[in-house]
């Protein structure tokens, strides 16, 4: 899938580390999303940004901190994570509108030691 780029693709970190996931979209979209997908489970919506404003926080623990400096970039800052936070983190973007399809990045596979 082109147009939405996530870095890094893989990340291994200890519980006391601080790291950030990055997402960049080149599609001219104005909404961006973070999803978490644990092994063998469906996608869980974490955060939604609409024109840089956070419009959805799906009861996500404060150890996950999103940042959206502009409509093209989205970050997920991680600190003092737990082993159960190991998962695939997916970023998506779309236009704001009920009939706008989503486009996904390739994801960051995160492992917490």
Partner 1 sequence: GIQVEQSPPDLILQEGANSTLRCNFSDSVNNLQWFHQNPWGQLINLFYIPSGTKQNGRLSATTVATERYSLLYISSSQTTDSGVYFCAVVGSGGSYIPTFGRGTSLIVHP
- Residue numbers of the site for partner 1 (CB under 8 A)? 1, 31, 33, 37, 42-43, 45, 48, 56, 88, 90, 92, 94, 96-104, 106-107, 109
CB of 50 to partner 1, least distance (A): 8
End-to-end CA distance of the chain: 30
User: 74 or 92, CB closer to partner 1?
Assistant: 92
Phi/psi of residue 59, nearest 5 degrees:
55, 45
Q: Between 71 and 94, name the residue whose CB sits nearer to partner 1.
A: 94
CB of 101: closest distance to partner 1 in angstroms? 4
CB of 49 to partner 1, least distance (A): 11
Looking at the Cβ atoms of 18 and 87, the one nearer to partner 1 is 87
| Whole-angstrom Cα Rg for the chain | 13
């Amino acid at each position: 899938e082109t147009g939405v780029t996530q870095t890094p693709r893989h990340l291994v970190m200890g519980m006391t580390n601080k790291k950030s996931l990055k997402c960049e979209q080149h599609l001219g979209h104005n909404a961006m999303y973070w999803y978490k997908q644990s092994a063998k489970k469906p996608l869980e919506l974490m955060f939604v940004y609409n024109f840089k404003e956070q419009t959805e926080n799906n009861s996500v623990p404060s150890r996950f901190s999103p940042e959206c400096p502009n409509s093209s970039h989205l970050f997920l800052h991680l600190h003092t994570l737990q082993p159960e936070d190991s998962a695939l983190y997916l970023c998506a973007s779309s236009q704001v509108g009920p009939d706008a399809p989503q486009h996904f990045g390739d994801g960051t596979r995160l492992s917490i030691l």
